[in-house]
């Protein structure tokens, strides 16, 4: 099929959708529910209307453009991503996906072959977790609880005000669950935010699934003591255990778990003053793997590393699991469709797991889902340095189009 | 001389002065300017009056008991310590010293030999630095600035309220400088808060001087990055440099600087979340030595260790001196007097530097000063576990008495 997106029209939509919250450095600063984010949604609403789609907003603020095919009882093919960004982020993360989805929907609508699915282009709320990670897509798939909304990442009072400003309520968000009537499939295009595609010279990444993310709090317990009068060898210094553990995390992953990643992102010291030997240091550690078995093995290895680090300095360690995001699989049939689409288009692709979370993993709970990656220059993300060649963006949109078309005309 | 303190009277004063703020665990909870601290000062004022001394309070709240000898123009011998404690501290830190000073002054007053010095028993404000370290003695010796008072350790608004409640003002505190008319000498008894006396079976420590304390902020700079998508070997993880440095501090001191101590008491992570590779980690480090040359050598060694830690992980490090407390020497003549006093009393003693700060170091700036230590069981301090055998307390008070007597009858 010579079905292709319209590159100029695609660029025009991208320009329109990257205007609200644009920064001087060429990035985007529009955290979920901020003024700029609400403006971007207004802009999208305008485009939806201009292009003759129906605009829908659900109780979680998820904004979609709907086109109905000739058969009223047809299922829906959803394509989407998110318009919100991290603070001082880049233009491509999420917004490229919404743009591509919209351009794909417009192209499909014009394509000759009769569609047997309605099309819905979705902009999910707060994918980045300014307040609650993947909030909109989790709400839409019944994976959000009141407790999640009671413990937002930001200041809880500020969250309430932001919801109010956006016309949202907790009840409304929890009521946005559409899992009783799921789409037939969900497709998403997103930037890789890593360097695997670049390093393998691949134009497209076909995501097999999302890694599981497992978060732990490891408390090293020593004895607070006077930093002057306590001889070095009489100390039970919690900072030493935490430091040894931090180095061991890296070493274990590099030596035995090259298929995983693990990170120490924070250490909290008690009492935390210059002149007191630390009583307790709590380490925040997360590890990721697409294989739950490997994740468990790495966890065990790091439990051992924490115990060794504690023993080495006369401390005790408590290794506590905090929470996890379960691994999720993208649909194998959709992956195969994506492979043949890439082959047909002459695009070199890689099959790979996603090391970051995406709305597609929420949708995967209620319908077959697929996720395509385009390369990120040097892997930069979440900053104005975030960049994907426009040719790669167009190639990605075309791969998305081919896949969506194959689904939309089947059934 | 068979001059001795009255053990029963000594114990009675100690009981009276350890009542306000007493905790169920047997410690003291009376941070400077708290209700309990102000009550303890009222208690002391009562004792001063009952015992026929003159009570004086200066602009920094420093409370003293004065007895004047027969010669109106005589110089003053000051003996003192502090009644304030750390939160949930012990009974002996500071309060033992005020008690001993008062008992010594009462005994001296009764002793037959004519005194040629007035006696002043001093309770200095906020030695522990609940608000400003050594605040009262620094105010009395002109070593306190407006800037010091503008940057208290606790909450600045709470400091203002506490001053107000205690009837103190910034101007009053700064005006308490008596360095224009210093005492002839200053003597103090304090608990060791360490284990050197215990380990050498010494009854008394004769302090040669206070170590210098040098505080540094070492910032390790990496690159914030996604904890999922950034491969382990492509990270510039500031936490790794900080951790390697923390372990190196201990190693360098143990290997090459056994005469010094160094401590990492805090690390501040930026951005400090589970899912972002740390961009920057700032390490709070202090080192202590009674020898400025050795302190400088240790600082150089640790600068090198920071650079090595940074290089090892592709980071940069900025090693910045924050502030220092200069080393101070106790008066050699007073030390010799203390030695002969101990010898006369048959008390085994050690000459040693103090690894912690004391009011004596402020006083040393304006007059010859001396500090005696009594042993701390197992070195515990700043908790209810703080303990010194009463026999050792009495021995210390007698060593203080002999020294004070020798000074007071001379001149």
Q: Which residues of A touch B278 (CB under 8 A)?
A: 264-266
Query: Residues 279 to 308 of B: which have CB under 8 A from any A CB?
Result: 284-286, 288
Q: How far apart are CA B48 and CA A162, in angstroms?
A: 62
List of residues 6+ apart from A49 with CB closer than 8 A: A55
Q: Is B253 on the interface with A (CB under 8 A)?
A: yes
Question: Residue A99 belongs to what H/E stretch?
Answer: helix A95-110
Q: How far apart are CA B107 and CA B10, in angstroms?
A: 10
Q: Which residues of B touch A247 (CB under 8 A)?
A: 240, 243-244, 247
Say yes or no for a CB contact (<8 Å) between A266 and B286. Answer: no
Q: Is B88 on the interface with A (CB under 8 A)?
A: no
Taking the alpha carbons at both ends of chain A, their separation in whole angstroms is: 19
Residue B352: per-residue pLDDT: 96
Instruction: Give the pLDDT band of residue A153 (cuts 50, 70, 90).
Output: confident
Partners of A267 in beta bridges: A283
- Starting at the edge strand found earlier in the chain, the sheet holding A280-289 runs A261-270, A280-289, A212-221, A316-325
Complex confidence, ipTM: 0.85
Q: Is A236 on the interface with B (CB under 8 A)?
A: no
Confidence check: pLDDT of B1 > 60: no
Q: pLDDT tens digits for B11-33?
A: 999 999 999 999 999 999 999 99
- C-beta neighbour count of B49 within 10 angstroms: 12
Q: Is B255 on the interface with A (CB under 8 A)?
A: no
Phi, psi angles (nearest 5°) of residue A229: -90, -10
Partners of B189 in beta bridges: B372
Give the angle subtended at the CA of A406 by the CAs of A400 and A407, to the nearest 5°.
Answer: 90
Mind telling me how many Å the CA of A355 is from chain B's nearest CA? 5
Residue A411: per-residue pLDDT: 61
Q: How far apart are CA B282 and CA B306, in angstroms?
A: 12
Q: Which residues of B touch A224 (CB under 8 A)?
A: 382
Q: Is B385 on the interface with A (CB under 8 A)?
A: no
Mean pLDDT for the stretch of residues A302-313 = 98
Nearest Cβ partner of A240 from B224, B247, B274?
A: B247
Q: How far apart are CA B53 and CA A266, in angstroms?
A: 56
Confidence check: pLDDT of B97 > 90: yes
- The region, left, alpha or beta by phi > 0 then psi within -120 to 50, assigned to residue B336 is alpha
Nearest Cβ partner of B274 from A230, A265, A271?
A: A265
Q: Is B246 on the interface with A (CB under 8 A)?
A: yes
Q: Minimum mean pLDDT among A190-194, A303-307, A379-383: which range?
A: A379-383
Q: Minimum mean pLDDT among A220-234, B246-260, B340-354: which range?
A: A220-234
Residue A295 DSSP SS3: helix
Nearest Cβ partner of A246 from B230, B243, B273?
A: B243
Nearest Cβ partner of B272 from A215, A261, A266?
A: A266
% of chain B surpassing 90 pLDDT: 92
- Disruptive mutation site among A253, A265, A286 for chain B (greatest number of B CBs within 10 Å): A265
Residue A168: per-residue pLDDT: 98
Confidence check: pLDDT of A154 > 80: no
Say yes or no for a CB contact (<8 Å) between A231 and B273. Answer: no
Q: Spell out the SS3 assignment of chain B.
A: CCCCCCHHHHHHHHHHHCCCCECCCCCECCCCCCHHHHHHHHHHHHHHHHCCCEEEECCCCCEEEEECCCCCCCCEEEEEEECCCCCCECCCCCHHHHHHHHHHHHHHHHCCCCCCCEEEEEEECCCCCCCCCCHHHHHHCCCCCHHHHHCCCCCHHHHHHHHHHCCCCHHHHHCCCCCCCCCCEEEEEEECCCCHHHHCCCCEEEEEEECEEEEEEEEEECECEECCCCCHHHCECHHHHHHHHHHHHHHHHHHHCCCCEEEEEEEEEECCCCCEECCEEEEEEEEEECCHHHHHHHHHHHHHHHHHHHHHCCCEEEEEEEEEECCEECCHHHHHHHHHHHHHHCCCEEEEEECCCCHHHHHCCCCCEEEEEECCHHHCCCCCCCCCCHHHHHHHHHHHHHHHHHHHCCC
Mind telling me how many Å the CA of B129 is from chain A's nearest CA? 11
Q: How far apart are CA A249 and CA A253, in angstroms?
A: 6
Nearest Cβ partner of A284 from B194, B244, B274?
A: B274
Dihedral sign computed on CA atoms, order A77, A81, A84, A90: negative
Dihedral sign computed on CA atoms, order A186, A191, A194, A197: positive
Residue B2: per-residue pLDDT: 77
Residue B94: per-residue pLDDT: 98
Say yes or no for a CB contact (<8 Å) between B228 and A356. Answer: yes
Q: pLDDT tens digits for A230-266?
A: 999 999 999 999 999 999 999 999 999 999 999 999 9
Nearest Cβ partner of A243 from B227, B232, B247?
A: B247
Mind telling me how many Å the CA of B111 is from chain A's nearest CA? 37
Q: pLDDT tens digits for A15-64?
A: 999 999 999 999 999 999 999 999 999 999 999 999 999 999 999 999 99
List of residues 6+ apart from B2 with CB closer than 8 A: none
- Disruptive mutation site among A227, A262, A356 for chain B (greatest number of B CBs within 10 Å): A227
Q: How far apart are CA A174 and CA A136, in angstroms?
A: 10
Q: Which residues of A touch B253 (CB under 8 A)?
A: 232
Q: Which residues of A touch B213 (CB under 8 A)?
A: 228, 275
Q: Which residues of A touch B215 (CB under 8 A)?
A: 274
Asked whether B383 and B88 are in contact (CB, 8 A), the reply is yes
DSSP string, A320-373: EEEEEE--EE--HHHHHHHHHHHHHHT--EEEEEESS--HHHHHTTTS-EEEEE
Q: Which residues of B touch A228 (CB under 8 A)?
A: 211, 213, 261, 288, 355-357
Q: How far apart are CA B367 and CA B122, in angstroms?
A: 15
Asked whether B352 and B196 are in contact (CB, 8 A), the reply is yes
Torsion of Cα atoms, A331 then A334 then A335 then A340, to 10°: 170
Query: Residues 178 to 207 of A: which have CB under 8 A from any B CB?
Result: 192-195
Mean pLDDT for the stretch of residues B209-217 = 95
Residue B226: per-residue pLDDT: 87
Say yes or no for a CB contact (<8 Å) between B229 and A356. Answer: yes
Q: Is B234 on the interface with A (CB under 8 A)?
A: yes
Asked whether B231 and A195 are in contact (CB, 8 A), the reply is yes
Say yes or no for a CB contact (<8 Å) between B229 and A266. Answer: no
Of A54, A363, A411, the closest CA to residue A182 belongs to A363
Say yes or no for a CB contact (<8 Å) between B286 and A276. Answer: no
Mind telling me how many Å the CA of B232 is from chain A's nearest CA? 7
Partners of B141 in beta bridges: none
- For chains A and B, what is the number of CB pairs under 8 angstroms? 160
Q: Which residues of A touch B267 (CB under 8 A)?
A: 239, 267, 269
Mean pLDDT for the stretch of residues B403-409 = 95
Mean pLDDT for the stretch of residues B196-214 = 96
Residue A23: per-residue pLDDT: 96
Mean pLDDT for the stretch of residues B33-44 = 98
Q: Which residues of B touch A269 (CB under 8 A)?
A: 265-267
Which residue is closest to A224 within chain B, CA to CA? B382
Q: Is A381 on the interface with B (CB under 8 A)?
A: yes
Q: pLDDT tens digits for A175-192?
A: 999 999 999 999 999 999
Q: How far apart are CA A318 and CA A222, in angstroms?
A: 12
Which residue is closest to A212 within chain B, CA to CA? B228
Give the angle subtended at the CA of B239 by the CAs of A378 and B215, to the nearest 5°.
Answer: 135
Q: Minimum mean pLDDT among A112-116, B62-66, B228-232, B407-411: which range?
A: B407-411
% of chain A surpassing 70 pLDDT: 100
Dihedral sign computed on CA atoms, order A96, A98, A102, A107: positive
Confidence check: pLDDT of A196 > 60: yes
Nearest Cβ partner of A266 from B269, B284, B286?
A: B269
Q: How far apart are CA A183 and CA A119, in angstroms?
A: 10
- Strand-pair category, B276-277 with A212-221: unpaired
């Amino acid at each position: 099929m010579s079905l292709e997106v319209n590159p100029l029209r695609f660029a025009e939509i991208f320009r329109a959708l990257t205007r609200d919250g644009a920064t001087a450095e060429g990035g985007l600063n529009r955290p979920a529910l901020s003024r700029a984010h609400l403006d971007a949604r207004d802009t999208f609403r305008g485009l939806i209307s201009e292009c003759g789609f129906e605009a829908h907003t659900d109780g979680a603020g998820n904004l979609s453009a709907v086109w109905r095919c000739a058969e009223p009882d047809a299922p829906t093919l959803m394509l989407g991503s998110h318009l919100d960004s991290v603070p001082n982020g880049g233009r491509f993360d999420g917004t490229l996906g919404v743009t591509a989805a919209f351009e794909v929907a417009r192209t499909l609508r014009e394509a000759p072959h009769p569609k047997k699915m309605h099309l819905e282009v979705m902009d999910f709320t707060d994918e980045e977790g300014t307040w609650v990670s993947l909030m909109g897509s989790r709400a839409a798939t019944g994976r959000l609880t009141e407790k999640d909304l009671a413990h937002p990442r930001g200041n809880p009072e500020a969250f309430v005000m932001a919801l109010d400003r956006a016309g949202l309520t907790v009840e409304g968000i929890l009521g946005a669950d559409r899992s009783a009537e799921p789409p037939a499939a969900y497709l998403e295009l997103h930037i890789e935010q890593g360097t695997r595609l670049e390093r393998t010279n691949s134009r497209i990444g076909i995501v097999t699934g999302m890694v599981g993310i497992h978060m732990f709090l490891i408390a090293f317990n020593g004895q607070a003591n006077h930093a002057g009068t306590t001889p070095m060898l009489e100390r039970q210094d919690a900072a030493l255990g935490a430091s040894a553990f931090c180095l061991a995390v890296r070493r274990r992953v590099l030596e035995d778990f090259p298929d995983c990643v693990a990170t120490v992102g924070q250490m909290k010291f008690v009492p935390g003053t210059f002149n007191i030997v630390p009583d307790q240091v709590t380490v925040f550690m997360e590890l990721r793997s697409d294989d739950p078995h490997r994740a468990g093995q790495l966890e065990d290895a790091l439990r051992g590393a924490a115990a060794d680090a504690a023993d080495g300095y006369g401390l005790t360690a408590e290794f506590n699991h905090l929470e996890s995001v379960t691994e999720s699989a993208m649909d194998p049939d959709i992956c195969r469709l994506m492979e043949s689409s890439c082959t047909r288009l002459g695009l070199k692709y890689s099959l790979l797991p996603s090391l970051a979370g995406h709305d597609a993993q929420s949708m995967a709970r209620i319908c077959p889902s697929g996720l395509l990656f385009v390369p990120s220059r040097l892997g930069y993300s979440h900053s104005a340095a975030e960049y994907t060649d426009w040719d790669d963006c167009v190639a990605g949109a075309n791969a998305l189009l081919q896949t969506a078309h194959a689904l939309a005309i089947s059934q």
